[in-house]
Amino acid sequence: MKARFTPSLFAHAEAVLNQLLRFDYPADAVVSHYFRDHRELGHADRAFVAETVFAVLRRGRSLEARCAGQLSDRRLLLAALAVTRNWTQRELAPVLKASEEEWLAAAKSMSDAEFAPAVRCDLPDWLYNALEAQFGVEEVVKLAQGLNQPAPLDLRVNTVKTNRDAVIAQFAAEDIVAVPGPLSPTAVRLRGKPALAKHPLFLSGAFEVQDEGSQLLGYLLDPKRGEMVVDFCAGAGGKTLLLGALMKNTGRLYAYDVSDKRLARLKPRLARSGLSNVHPARIEHERDTKIKRLAGKVDRVLVDAPCSGLGTLRRNPDLKWRQSEASVTELTVKQAAILDAAAKMVRPGGRVVYATCSLLTAENDAIIDAFLASHPDFTLTPASAVLARHGIEMAGDILRLLPHLHNTDGFFAAVLDKKA
């Protein structure tokens, strides 16, 4: 159902954007907080507000350029609706002022070719320069186009409780279009963004919302029945639950994180999942005594390292404006320390998978190169060979997922096996 476009609805979007552009908090948290305070907004109204303000975050630089020196939250929203959603002035009539009509027509007619490359790609200069150096001029444009599109809604089927065919069949019976994900054996991709929080399949633990690319990390770790496994940076536990299912609900799976708040979000998900092999625990840092006690004992460790998140700009477009070269440099120090701590936990013959949702070499290849140089007891195992055992066809020694090529978030993952 489409929201009815009114001055009141536009005012809500303007109020949310005003808060977002302060960049004090993550965009999804700001939007969720606003909706909790304005429960009068229905599902369609919320969708309109969220999609419109996120369009401004995604296309901020080129929309600013179209504001012709008269930058305001209002003009950014009008330009977003006209340019990114191709609304006509007739559709915008409930809010468009006569004094804005000439400007908006000119803004809509501007060609991206008029803008500098970083503006055309809607990236800050430092990030554009880094990505251009990695991917080249032509490819970075395609990458930026992929990053500036909304992400599809992906689910991961909980194989402890059901299977993918059954979930798709149930959605079909409800006229919800769902198809198998092209990469992950447990992925389902939905058309549109149906409300799922109260869906019986969700409440019963049959699925979780999870990007298809993220699901591949579990298959790279490839945990077996009865093993001791650690999800080192578990967060809210999306990958933890996948690992538990891959272990057939056997063995011991430790879910560690430094944030009580993130681990608290795991609890209801864990309760729905039906898993009994997961043991969440808060740690102070990567040198915590809980970690030291496991030295040389663990079969497999997943390090989904804290990172810039720049591969998730489809979902979190504010990150490109909140991160900086300095913040990335700080993260690389932490990433190297966490990977080193993970390596100490693994037994001979064990495995560490290092992963980020970053696009930057500094957080990815550079971390792996330095690790292998200082840890001669580890080798890089081709990711393609590990994934092939699960029927997943991906080329390359390292997993590299990009939104414009794979329609997933941007992910990097390396499989590091310890010599027996």
Q: Catalytic residue, from 121, 233, 307, 357: name it.
A: 357
DSSP per position, 311-367: GGTTT-TTHHHH--HHHHHHHHHHHHHHHHHHHHHEEEEEEEEEEES---GGGTHHH
Q: At residue 414, does pLDDT exceed 80?
A: yes
Listed in sequence order, the DSSP H helices in 110-205 are 117-120, 125-135, 137-147, 164-173, 200-203
| Number of domains observed in the structure of the chain | 2
Are 107 and 218 in a shared domain?
no
Residue 370, judged by CB atoms within 10 A of its CB (0-12, 13-18, 19+), counts as: middle
SS3 (DSSP) at 31: helix
What's the whole-number average pLDDT of the chain?
Answer: 95
Rounded to 10°, the helix 27-37/43-58 angle is 150
Residue 370 lies in a domain: yes
State if pTM tops 0.75. Answer: yes
Distance CA 314, CA 357 (A): 12
What range does the domain containing 109 cover?
A: 7-115
Are 83 and 220 members of one domain?
A: no
Which of 77, 92, 115 terminates a domain? The answer is 115
Are residues 370 and 243 part of one domain?
yes
Lowest-confidence region among 136-140, 232-236, 374-378: 232-236
- Phi, psi (rounded to 5 degrees) for 31: -65, -45
Does 268 lie in the same domain as 405?
yes
pLDDT of residue 2 exceeding 80, the answer is no
On whether both 400 and 253 belong to a single domain, the answer is: yes
pLDDT digits (tens, 9 = 90+) for 62-75: 999 999 778 999 99
User: Do 111 and 216 fall within a single domain?
Assistant: no
Q: Do 363 and 231 sit in the same domain of this protein?
A: yes
Per-residue pLDDT, averaged over 329-339, amounts to 97
Residues 394 and 275 in one domain: yes
Could you tell me if 263 and 384 lie in one domain? yes
Residue 157 within a domain: no
28 pLDDT higher than 80: yes
Q: Which helix (H) or strand (E) holds 70?
A: none
Hey, what amino acid is at 416?
L
Q: Token pair of 308, please?
A: 């810039």
CB 227 within 8 A of CB 247: yes
Return the structure tokens found at 347.
Answer: 């037994």
**Within-domain flag for 185:** no
Stretch 252-259: mean pLDDT: 94
Q: Which percentage of the chain shows pLDDT scores above 90?
A: 95
Q: Are residues 353 and 239 part of one domain?
A: yes
Give the pair of three-digit tokens for residue 163.
């299977």
Structure confidence at residue 1 (pLDDT): 61
User: For residue 174, is it within any domain?
Assistant: no
Instruction: Determine, yes or no, domain membership for 297.
Output: yes
Structure tokens at 186: 């447990």
Give dist(CA 416, CA 418) in Å, integer: 7
Residues 270, 271, 276, 279: is their CA dihedral positive or negative? Answer: positive
Q: What is the mean pLDDT of residues 364-381?
A: 98
DSSP 224-282: -TT-EEEETT-TT-HHHHHHHHHTTT-SEEEEEES-HHHHHHHHHHHHHHT--SEEEEE
Model confidence at 112, pLDDT cuts 50, 70, 90, reads confident
Span 19-30, mean pLDDT? 95
Whether 47 is in a domain gets the answer yes
- Is residue 357 annotated as part of the catalytic site, yes or no? yes
Round to whole Å and give the CA distance between 184 and 219.
Answer: 9
Nearest to 176 by CA among 163, 158, 192: 192
Residue 177 lies in a domain: no
For the stretch 256-285, pLDDT in tens is: 999 999 999 999 999 999 999 999 999 999
- Mark which of 60, 91, 115 sits at the end of a domain: 115
Q: Which of 115, 141, 156 is the last residue of a domain?
A: 115
Q: Note the pLDDT of residue 113.
A: 86
Q: Is residue 134 part of a domain?
A: no
Q: Residue 200 pLDDT more than 90?
A: yes
- Asked if residues 345 and 301 have their Cβ atoms less than 8 Å apart, the reply is yes
Give the strands of the sheet with 178-180, arranged side by side.
Answer: 178-180, 187-190, 153-157, 207-209
In this structure, are 298 and 412 located in the same domain? yes
CATH number at residue 292: 3.40.50.150
